[in-house]
Amino acid sequence: MKDNSISDGYRTCPVPVSSYKKVLLGHGSGGKLTNDLISSVFMRIFDSPELDTRHDGAVMSLGGEKIAMTTDSYVVTPLFFPGGDIGSLAVHGTVNDLAMCGARARFMTAGFIIEEGLDMEVLEKVAASMKRSCDEAGVRIVAGDTKVVEKGKGDGLFINTSGVGTLMSDEPLLPSGIKEGDAIVISGDVGRHGIAIMSAREGLALKTSLESDSALLSGMVEDLISEGVNVHCLRDLTRGGLASALIELSSVSGTGMRIDEAYIPVSEEVKGVCEILGLDPLQVANEGRFICFVPAGEAEKTIKILSRHNAGRNACRIGHVDGRTSGVYMRNLVGTIRKIDMLTGEQLPRIC
Amino acid sequence: MKYVDEFRDRVSVETLATAIRGITTREWTIMEVCGGQTHSIMRFGIDELIPRGITLVHGPGCPVCVTPVEAIDRAIRMASMKDVVLCSFGDMLRVPGSSKDLLGVKAEGGDVRVVYSPMDALKMAVDDPGKKVVFFAVGFETTAPGNAMAVYQAKKNGVDNFYMLVSHVLVPPAMRLILSDSNNRVQGFLAAGHVCAVMGYDEYEGIAKDHWVPIVVTGFEPVDIMKGIYMCVKQLEEGRFDVENQYSRVVKREGNPEAKRIMKEVFDLSDRKWRGIGNIPLSGLVLNGRYEGYDAEKVFGLDAVTAEEDQGCMSGKVLRGIIRPDECGKFGGACTPEHPLGAPMVSSEGACAAYYNYKDREKNEG
């Protein structure tokens, strides 16, 4: 009988794309490529114990006082988006990073990289927005820097902010503080910032009323600490979304984590856009959400405190730290369990 | 989007799982044709909910996976040219060509842009007459009407700096090829709901009859897929081989006549090479003579760019349902989403990526 099998010559696949020789956009996505870049270049070369904590900022002693320090850069397009702008984002991000270390922000620096041709009015609006956010956070900008690059060599405006704060808690809050049995509490629904930015971008004709979740988290953290919640660790959710934050903390702390999809708050609009574009809400960026690791018995108290704040009104418990597993596992809506993975590169919408 | 939640309802899924167990008396192998269905199956763990005797195998329905390496190389060649803007849907940017991918070309300075619609690429051409805007048109019958409309509008409005690099493929010829293979183990199909929404399913009736296989047009949510499996197993157990429509809320037998009309206006059928599978006669679409001025391949002489597929991975067997991704020796070791040997590990709808991202359930003790 004639063999109808397809020729062996066609059973093959292409040449592998191994490590990239150039930096890709995906290296800034907050997912696996970002982690690779940080480990293989910066951590290896800079080699400091503070970087080894892999937290949002570093805690150090200076003249007997414990201080926290952090830095971040903002390259968002468009500069103004529903629910915020690059200026408020730059202040929120740095204040929040300090809050995640258990520190109250005190002083900030701001570096501006401006593209030739930017409207002066835009720059003033951004600066005014920064000032408002600083006042709200009780922080002062004490030093700055300005550079102008040729037209076409920037994206309008980039901002770098650094912040110094003083510790509110007796001990710094670090990933190593996470303990088996801890409850994982999230401060609100996920994915709003990423989807609001995507919707506002030219070329994506999605009409939504979604606003970014960009917000100051320091008030919530201050209340948790001052009201005696035994916080083990905090982490704000940024570029890589909830998935990247959990996986990184699981890896750094050497613990397993279990979450339940049914408890993870996602707004109907975020869900809808994610379905259309083929994105996972767990991997979409946030700018005003954080997760808390607290003893299981203190989860209710934590939720109650967070819920008093506007940015924490949807706070809820989404899972727990599990000693039996390593990695992050999620019980999904139909009852089966799957491992959560970090985004590989950039989030790219699917074809169909 | 409560509409989606209804089709992810745990009780409905469990009820269907019980019903499938109730009618299954022997082992069956069913192929889900579409990569979106594979993604859902793995994401929601549907393979864990059905009886062990029912094997779900992945089909060739991931548009990124089946786009031949030489088409990627041609896109890369275009993207490297001066004053050219190469536009594509997101997924395509990560797929490896012979030596690099489009993201790599972008990092080297090529003007590669992600668009959400071919009409966005056309608008780019209108807004920037100094550039040649090339849209890399890939995918199945699902994306073909939109792409056809962009070329139609370009001609109607006299836009002369817009081109299309066409690598469209059609599902039914691939299903026939799979069924004709002596290694075939597929006994029933879950047909791709979105493809049938455009094309209808009368063409599938000939396949079911010629090859004695049941075909169930199926959607993408967990309840859809469980119901599609139930309908398929029921036919297999009863010895029937009909085409049935689980996805009737979206799909009609005749499909979408307007979408089919615009496809016919712009495209002709052609032989097409499928990555990992090889040439399948009359399985592709090309711009017809009336629109050849928009055909990037002809205008820029890209047909001279050829490429051989490397002997690196077994994706051809995966795409034909002969092996599951985790039956490949390189799966998860030499081949991961960060270092893919083949396209099915790259695309979000690729079978290997779906298995890699969702398959790790060894510690599912509850």
Model pLDDT for residues A325-339, shown as the tens digit of each residue: 789 999 999 999 988
A6, B181 in Cβ contact below 8 A? yes
**In this complex, do A271 and B4 lie within 8 Å of one another by their Cβ atoms?**
yes
A233-236 and A183-186 strand pairing: unpaired
Among B256, B118, B348, B189, smallest CA distance to A203 is for B118
Distance (Å, whole) CA A53 – CA A142: 27
Tens-place pLDDT, residues A175-202: 999 999 999 999 999 999 999 988 887 5
**Burial code of B2-26, b = ≥16 C-beta within 10 A, e = fewer?**
eeeeebbeeebbeebbebbeeebee
In this prediction, residue A344 has a pLDDT band, given cuts at 50, 70 and 90, of low
Question: Rounded CA gap, B83 and A91, in Å?
Answer: 39
pLDDT of residue A19: 58
Q: Are strands A327-331 and A256-260 parallel, antiparallel or unpaired?
A: parallel
Q: What are residue B12's phi and psi, to 5 degrees?
A: -60, -40
For A82, left (φ over 0), alpha (ψ -120 to 50), or beta?
beta
Q: CA A305: distance to chain centroid? A: 22
Q: Can you read off the two tokens belonging to residue A100?
A: 């995640």
Tell me the two tokens of residue B5.
């939640």
- Tokens describing residue B363: 């510690």
Which pLDDT score is estimated for A22?
80
The residue of chain A with its CA nearest to that of B141 is A352
Smallest Cα distance from A134 to chain B, Å: 36
Interstrand relation of A256-260 and A183-186 (parallel, antiparallel or unpaired): unpaired
Put simply, the answer to whether A278 touches B115 (Cβ < 8 Å) is no
Residues 6+ apart with CB under 8 A from A7: B278
Asked if the model's pLDDT at residue B98 lies above 50, the reply is yes
Please tell me the distance from the alpha carbon of residue B230 to that of residue A75, in angstroms, as a whole number. 50
Q: Which of A3, A12, A29 to mutate to test the interface with B (most CBs of B within 10 A)?
A: A12
Cα B351 to Cα B319: distance, rounded to the nearest angstrom: 8
Specify the pLDDT at position B89. Answer: 85
Nearest CA to CA, how far is A61 from chain B (Å)?
Answer: 39
Do the chains contact at A6 and B316, CB–CB below 8 Å?
yes
Is the predicted pLDDT of residue A20 greater than 70, yes or no? no
pLDDT in tens, A275-318: 878 788 999 999 999 999 999 999 999 999 999 999 999 999 99
The answer to whether the CB atoms of B92 and A337 lie below 8 A apart is: no
Residue among B348, B352, B359, B365 with most chain A CBs within 10 A, to mutate: B348
Share of chain A above pLDDT 90, in %: 64
Judge whether residue B143 has pLDDT over 90: yes
Distance CA A98, CA A312 (A): 18
Separation CA B307–CA B313 (nearest Å):
16
How many contacts does A have with B, using Cβ atoms within 8 A? 201
For B270-300, b where at least 16 C-beta lie within 10 A, e where not — what string? bebbbbbbbebeebbbbbeeebeebbbbeeb
A1 has pLDDT over 50: no
pLDDT over threshold 50, residue A8: no
Give the closest-approach CA distance of A15 to chain B in angstroms: 5
| A26 has a chain B CB within 8 A of its CB | yes
Are A337 and B14 in contact (CB < 8 Å)?
A: no
Give per-residue pLDDT as tens, B239-248. Answer: 999 999 999 9
Query: What are the residue ranges of helices labelled H in chain B?
Result: 2-6, 10-23, 35-44, 46-49, 63-66, 69-79, 102-107, 118-127, 144-156, 171-180, 193-199, 202-211, 222-238, 257-266, 296-299, 315-319, 351-358
B2: tokens are 């409560």
Question: What pTM did the predictor assign?
Answer: 0.82
Angle at A350 between CA A348 and CA A352, to 5 degrees: 160
How confident is the model over B24-45, as a mean pLDDT? 93
What mean pLDDT comes out for the span B277-299?
96
Q: Output the six-digit token pair for A345.
A: 């590169």
The predicted complex's ipTM stands at: 0.74
Segment B344-353, tens digit of pLDDT: 887 767 888 8
The amino acid at B249: R
pLDDT for A346 equals 66
Specify the higher pLDDT residue, A29 or A168.
Answer: A168
H/E stretch holding A145: strand A140-149
Mean pLDDT of chain B: 91
**Tell me, what's the pLDDT at A6?**
34
Instruction: List, as one string, the DSSP characters of A283-295.
Output: GS--SS-EEEEE-
